[in-house]
Structure 1
């Protein structure tokens, strides 16, 4: 097992760190008051997000056409699952270092809490620090490790940082994924004992209680602990889940401008938004009405028409959605949901330079509801799953249809699977899309066409729509072994050329450890 300095986890992934390495990492502010501890915890939320890389890696992205010049090497590498050599504010390198910096802040707060005078605020800060530490480690695993399975002890984990640095060059081993997840779970369970909302000024920008329940729901779903996923979803959603969901119908009656809709989408007053995070990010440009940046790799009209937004589904087509898809047709032909505004932080207002920023919901009650539906399906509690799917569908769309296990199976079973070539059609090039994809999870599910498989297809479709432009689809692709064809669309917007294929066992499904961290001796992911 290779070892690596913990400094490599953070500082080697940053530029200009030579001076830092010359000093002991103990020149810290003294955290000797509740206010200072609370201030430290504001740094325990990563500001370099995973969203763009995860979304561009997923099947929510097509190569709209090689004639489109709006790309760069970073986007080329991300879309093609190539190990990253380019860096920007949304690169894996920045996400890695940002997450470990956030973890370090949580650990500093926890160390100070141990010597602080007991109080209700100190207890709540302990809960926030533990949950934040767990979340940052969890998201690192989602990006840089295999998905959790019953065989996780045989997969590579990551260093789990449980204390502040007190040595110049401490050594850490990578360990296995099962042990790594056990530590995440221990932090979640311990953190929930203490977490509370009374000391927050704006709870939605911190791990408030409902956000922590939503995180626990996702964690237990991803680790196949279906009953616990349901339990925490119940705590998050309460007895009237519909009142917790985003009010898409009301948003449809608002002024239909991207600024108005995106401001409402990230509003702290929305019951649906459980945790809002800020990031150095271009997502407000890439998934908007702007041309440039990353228009070549985007959510295409073809994807919308055949796989998700506008495709024929059990509730109808795109015209049935309250949150209607927005098409930008021209040499880019993108179809998107308005979600993120183009925010800009000026570092020099005179020179008009600075950073693009974004605010995004890391957890929503809508996702928690669909997570619960998935857990019900896995436990074969189909009527309860159908009830949750109905609640989501009737809120997201204008449909008044009531879903049942029977009508879900009746609708989804006859639909062909994506990329399956029709032997009776000589013009079929094996690149065509439908709303169904073959599922190859490590956990057992019933045969294709069964009630369970059809309900999983429905749930995954709903979650794909719900989490569009949020990166979550990539994690479903990993968990369910969903395979992806990379193709280039022709000028008519149809799939023409196959350029790559991501199989269910392709090692590129796990993003590579950043180069600078590997250069410091950290064990790479297999390739």
Structure 2
């Protein structure tokens, strides 16, 4: 694949200047994106090469003090106590921020290039190339929407229609940068959500034209199925539950294409971590290869410990059938960090064979049929379609319970008497009955179990206004509570972005 250099402005460019080469070359020396093939190459880079998983998981209520003070480090402590995180290295907030905006720049470059050659293809009547071009345009728009969606949900307060018009969002980038010192502004959360919706809807109208011949890489790109999964999540976060249900209508209620955890149990953690994010797994809809140490993570002082995971994740005490949940019980002895059955495989790209140095990679699942299944259940609950939700929850619970009897049935009474790990208080809670709230709290714990060590719990913490306390158990005494409306729920912008004129999040 050709390396295509583009300008992405100071918001991103100062961080990646050595990679982009933008300031080292005149525009005439940069590769011209003047064919459908080159547009396709460009859009393959429209996905963030960083990940939020580690820092988001640490900030959530999934983590506790393991008491191993020898494993404490600054970044881990800052994330655990919701401080402004200063690191700019791999797996830090800054790294993800800049990698997301770099991906957005690639999406914009691909989209603008497509616009320039589209009329020419139409004039020539080249329908085959025009169809592919429209598909790439759709992918670029959806990828742009996704990166902004992740940014606004990490660096801004959660969406609430009563405050979104004034809450600080993030810059929404729709054009390729042409000047060295552009001035950026933070759009409101509402504006960002509106932009995302426009890109998503327009992109979905186009992406159906795309038929990638290389089926071995198709799940590294958005297609109609993964785009629907994204749309379901977007409208769920926005509180438009009927649209979320509409975009998730293809879900198999019988759960026949969900993960087979019984198979994972047979494989064990070493093989499961290789299998989990493979594109050959039917459940996986969108997979991303990211630069991350996730596959090498063996524990920090503040993490999800095996004991904590056992207490709420595996123990039959929280299972309606009195059986253990089948998420595995594996963890590291020294750090006490829980890994379950393992989700991240180690991949190392050697760039210097002599010194054996290079980059650490791993695959992460961005969208799956499992995630979509749970998102649809939540939409059904919030739309007061409890009978349909209960049917799906029954399938889910039975599939995720070890040695469950064929006659076992999850009943509404089981949900109503269940003691959730946290109380939920979403912006639409006044529109829910007490029974709906009980269903929602039950669903939140189903998702918490399934997405352990994936960083997804942090988004539920924000959306549901969950309150909890992080405290030291040993050493210097410290205890802090993340309350509803806490300003620290919005991660502080990278210092470089603030220094270049972006308004900081209030503290």
Shared fold (TM-score, shorter chain, > 0.5):
yes
Residues 240 and 305 (structure 1), Cα distance of their counterparts in 2 relative to 1, 3 Å cut: closer
Q: Once the two structures are superposed, what CA deviation does each residue of 1:443-482 show, in whole Å capped at 9, x if it has no partner?
A: 224789x311211111000000111111110000000010
Which is further off, 222-231 or 385-394? 385-394
Question: Which residue of 464, 472, 494 maps to 1:488?
Answer: 472
Question: Which residue of 406, 413, 437 maps to 2:422?
Answer: 437
1:425 alignment counterpart: none
Match of 2:255, SS?
A: helix
Question: Which residue of 191, 198, 210 maps to 1:186?
Answer: 198
Distance 2:73 2:147 in 1: 28
Are 1:140 and 2:124 matched, yes or no? no
Question: Which residue of 128, 135, 138 maps to 1:127?
Answer: 138
In structure 2, list runs of 5 or more residues that go unmatched.
1-6, 123-129
Distance 1:53 1:437 in 2: 21
Q: What are the within-5 Å matches in structure 2 for residues 33-52 of structure 1?
A: 33-52=35-54
Question: Which residue of 291, 307, 321 maps to 1:280?
Answer: 291
Residues 316 and 325, structure 2, Cα contact 8 Å, conserved in 1 = no
2:33 alignment counterpart: 31
Q: Once the two structures are superposed, what CA deviation does each residue of 1:216-244 show, in whole Å capped at 9, x if it has no partner?
A: 01100000000011111113x2x555122
1:244 alignment counterpart: 257
2:304 alignment counterpart: 299
Which is further off, 482-491 or 336-345? 482-491
Distance 1:305 1:270 in 2: 26
Distance 2:361 2:313 in 1: 28
1:203 alignment counterpart: 218
2:114 alignment counterpart: 113
1:270 alignment counterpart: 281
Residues 485 and 498, structure 1, Cα contact 8 Å, conserved in 2 = no
Residues 376 and 305 (structure 1), Cα distance of their counterparts in 2 relative to 1, 3 Å cut: same
Residues 88 and 316 (structure 1), Cα distance of their counterparts in 2 relative to 1, 3 Å cut: farther
Q: Once the two structures are superposed, what CA deviation does each residue of 1:302-334 show, in whole Å capped at 9, x if it has no partner?
A: 3223333336213456x63333121333x4222
Q: What are the within-5 Å matches in structure 2 for residues 342-361 of structure 1?
A: 342-361=346-365
Q: Normalization by structure 2: what TM-score?
A: 0.89
Residues 57 and 474, structure 1, Cα contact 8 Å, conserved in 2 = yes
Residues 310 and 329, structure 2, Cα contact 8 Å, conserved in 1 = no
Match of 1:500, SS?
A: strand
Q: What are the within-5 Å matches in structure 2 for residues 257-406 of structure 1?
A: 258-286=269-297, 290=298, 294-310=299-315, 312-316=317-321, 320-329=324-333, 331-337=334-340, 338-398=342-402, 399=404, 400=406, 401-406=408-413
Which is further off, 300-309 or 178-187? 300-309
Q: Once the two structures are superposed, what CA deviation does each residue of 1:324-377 show, in whole Å capped at 9, x if it has no partner?
A: 121333x42222221111222211123111122110100011111111111111
In structure 1, list runs of 5 or more residues that go unmatched.
416-434
Match of 2:470, SS?
A: strand
2:127 alignment counterpart: none
1:460 alignment counterpart: 444
Match of 1:139, SS?
A: helix
Question: How far apart are residue 128 of structure 1 and its match?
Answer: 0.5
Question: How far apart are residue 6 of structure 1 and its match?
Answer: 7.0
Which is further off, 54-63 or 192-201? 192-201
Distance 2:32 2:12 in 1: 21
Distance 2:325 2:312 in 1: 15
| Alignment: residue pair count | 483
Question: How far apart are residue 8 of structure 1 and its match?
Answer: 2.8
Match of 1:320, SS?
A: coil
Question: How far apart are residue 504 of structure 1 and its match?
Answer: 1.2
Question: How far apart are residue 402 of structure 1 and its match?
Answer: 2.3
Question: How far apart are residue 146 of structure 1 and its match?
Answer: 0.8
Question: How far apart are residue 525 of structure 1 and its match?
Answer: 0.5
Residues 445 and 452, structure 1, Cα contact 8 Å, conserved in 2 = no
Question: How far apart are residue 497 of structure 1 and its match?
Answer: 5.8
Question: How far apart are residue 403 of structure 1 and its match?
Answer: 2.3
Distance 2:38 2:25 in 1: 24
Question: How far apart are residue 167 of structure 1 and its match?
Answer: 2.5
Question: Which residue of 157, 165, 182 maps to 1:153?
Answer: 165
Residues 87 and 94, structure 2, Cα contact 8 Å, conserved in 1 = no
Q: Once the two structures are superposed, what CA deviation does each residue of 1:155-200 show, in whole Å capped at 9, x if it has no partner?
A: 0121111111123333232121111110100001000011135125
Question: How far apart are residue 301 of structure 1 and its match?
Answer: 3.0
Residues 75 and 153 (structure 1), Cα distance of their counterparts in 2 relative to 1, 3 Å cut: same
Residues 344 and 16 (structure 1), Cα distance of their counterparts in 2 relative to 1, 3 Å cut: closer
Q: Normalization by structure 1: what TM-score?
A: 0.86
Question: How far apart are residue 37 of structure 1 and its match?
Answer: 0.9
Question: Which residue of 436, 445, 457 maps to 1:473?
Answer: 457
Residues 240 and 387 (structure 1), Cα distance of their counterparts in 2 relative to 1, 3 Å cut: closer
Residues 327 and 333, structure 1, Cα contact 8 Å, conserved in 2 = yes
Residues 515 and 311 (structure 1), Cα distance of their counterparts in 2 relative to 1, 3 Å cut: farther
Residues 445 and 311 (structure 1), Cα distance of their counterparts in 2 relative to 1, 3 Å cut: farther
Match of 1:278, SS?
A: strand
